[in-house]
Amino acid sequence: MRNFSTRGNRPDQPPVDRNAAKAQRQHYLKLADAQSAAGDQVAAENYYQHAEHFLRCTTEGTR
């Protein structure tokens, strides 16, 4: 399986490293969980949205 994918139809964007995107997703999920536990739901939602972006980067082109 390739560890890189393209970002849509724009040739000026570099390929996405899926391993790095997976690590970033895990990082943002940890931050979101910490903010949620601290009671800051706004910050938690922000981090969850970042994590979702990196989830899309890892699954791009596999559907």
What predicted TM-score, i.e. pTM, was given to this entire model?
A: 0.73
Burial 17-53 (b: 16+ CB within 10 A, else e): ebeebeebbeebbebbeebeeeeeeeebeebbebbee
Tens of pLDDT along 12-53?
A: 666 678 888 899 999 999 999 999 999 999 999 999 999 999
The whole-number pLDDT of residue 14 equals 66
* Domain positions in the chain: 17-59
